[in-house]
Copies of this chain bind each other. A is one copy, B any other.
Amino acid sequence: MKDDKGHSMQPEDTPELRELYAGFEKLSLMPLWTQLGDLMPVHPKSNAVPHVWKWADLLPLAEKSGELVPVGRGGERRALGLANPGLAPNAYISPTLWAAIQYLGPRETAPEHRHSQNAFRFVVEGEGVWTVVDGDPVRMSRGDLLLTPGWRFHGHHNDTDQPMAWIDGLDIPFSRQNDVGFFEFGSDRVTDYATPNFSRGERLWAYPGLRPLSGLQDTVSSPLAAFRWEFTDRALTEQLLLEDEGQPATFGPGHAGIRYVNPTTGGDVMPTIRCEFHRLREGTETPVRQEVGSTVFQVFEGRGAVVLNGELRKLEKGDMFVAPSWIPWSLQAETQFDLFRFSDAPIMERLGFMRTKVAGQ
């Protein structure tokens, strides 16, 4: 590690020093002074790289997997992980997050299991699949966010003659690296093949500002497992209308946004993953932003671009990108531009590591 003037005090390379270093190795010791710069960089320098995946690439491969790869016990899920090129050979989209496209053929069932890892699904297109979370069947439709927080049994089944694909997000890398995960198999089929429009969790919890008297205990993750597009869309629409009326409602000029929250606390839906939805008016450019922690976006609708670490990348429906920690990014909207976002911000905030830098602020 070099200081501002390029100095770095290091020991002279002598036979005695080499002998010392050999002694270290024998006793499972390692000097800090030879590796400090990599261990403790001046600012976060992720091995992960910024990267864009095109939906036009992802979907055909998922479809092809549908032909060639069965879904069932053992493999558990027909899911393609978006593997950050900087994190090979791991299929991690960032050091903390996993993102995948999952594909379920007509009438297929993905068997039930549970794990400590927190998971969500976001549906960029399609419908017809139900995810069954602790026995509660949850419809998955376009624009919906569906949760399966840690240690809840869940499986999926496709009730139609059409395949369906969606996005999974989990904290698998974080869990793997920090050794926190438990896993348990459940039923080989889902426990309930009913296809109700609304899950029991929604019927209990999906009312603004109302809490059931049977649910007064706060929970680590949201007891509401489905966040419907109807509400998300309406909330964003109203923010922009309120902005038109001169009211303070948007996150920034022309930039509406909501965070999905746990109704028992008002905080993030799960302890490791933040989920948000952003809508930009046509022509809006957001200021360049840097944040500690990694974030992933998926375009839900519209056309635009991201400037990711200085490089402009065009984006269309379904396209996804990751911005690793402290990598600058900004969004540009060619049309009205809708994006789903998730990140590891709750980890950073709960552990006191969050920092944010916004150009011009």
Which A residues are within 8 Å of any B CB, using their own CB? 1-4, 7-11, 14, 16-17, 20, 23-24, 27-36, 39-46, 48, 51, 53, 57-58, 61, 64-65, 68-85, 91, 95-96, 100, 115-117, 150, 172, 174-185, 200, 202-214, 216, 218, 220-222, 224, 227, 231-232, 234-235, 238-239, 241-242, 247-251, 256-266, 269, 271-272, 276, 292-294, 324-326, 344, 346-348, 350-353, 355
Contacts and interface: CB of A to CB of B under 8 A. Distances in A.
B100 A209 contact: no
Q: What are the 3 tightest A-B residue pairs by CB atom distance, in nearest-first order? A: A8-B74, A33-B75, A30-B91
A269 to B, nearest CB: 8
B36 A238 contact: no
A48 to B, nearest CB: 7
B65 A20 contact: yes
B9 A29 contact: no
Contact of A204 (B17, B34, B43, B242): B242
A288 to B, nearest CB: 18
Contact of A212 (B28, B182, B258): B258
16 contacts: A3-B185, A24-B80, A29-B83, A32-B78, A32-B80, A33-B78, A39-B91, A44-B181, A179-B293, A203-B241, A205-B208, A209-B260, A210-B259, A212-B239, A213-B251, A346-B351
Nearest to A40: B183
Contacts of A210: 227, 231-232, 235, 258-261
B241 A222 contact: no
Contacts of A95: 177-179
Which of A57, A210, A265, A348 has the most CB atoms of chain B within a 10 A radius of its CB? A210
Given A61-B24, A209-B260, A266-B264, A32 B179 contact: no
B352 A214 contact: no
Given A179-B48, A210-B260, A27 B78 contact: no
Nearest to A69: B11
A19 to B, nearest CB: 9
A34 B260 CA distance: 32
A213 B79 CA distance: 31
Contacts of A203: 238, 241-242, 249
Contacts of A247: 200
Given A33-B76, A41-B181, A213-B258, A28 B3 contact: no
A41 to B, nearest CB: 6
Contacts of A294: 179
B83 A180 contact: no
Given A95-B178, A209-B222, A68 B1 contact: no
B115 A40 contact: yes
B79 A179 contact: no
B179 A71 contact: no
Contacts of A346: 351
Contacts of A251: 212-214
Nearest to A247: B200
Nearest to A227: B209
